């Protein structure tokens, strides 16, 4: 991964984190475990499925071209 790609990921992760944080009740994030569980729940609910759809679409497009 290039430094530019790493920076792009960092930028997007920070933006996604801000959105996911806005979906949380700040008073529920009292411990590191609370934060970890909140992040895991929201990533599995919102980020992972969309990443899977994107990658599947990319793979299907490559197969059609090849």
pLDDT, position 51? 94
Give tens-digit pLDDT for 17-43. 999 999 999 899 999 999 999 999 999
In which band, very low, low, confident or very high, does the pLDDT at 13 lie, cut at 50, 70 and 90?
very high
CA quadruple 64, 1, 5, 47: dihedral positive or negative? positive
Residue 36, token pair as written in the block: 């970890």
pTM exceeding 0.95: no
């Amino acid at each position: 991964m290039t430094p530019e790609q790493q920076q792009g990921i960092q930028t997007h992760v920070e933006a996604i984190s801000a959105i996911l944080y806005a979906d949380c009740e700040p008073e529920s994030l009292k411990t590191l475990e609370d934060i970890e569980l909140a992040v895991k729940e929201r990533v599995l609910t919102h980020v992972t499925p969309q990443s899977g759809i994107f990658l599947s679409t990319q793979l299907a497009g490559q197969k059609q071209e090849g």
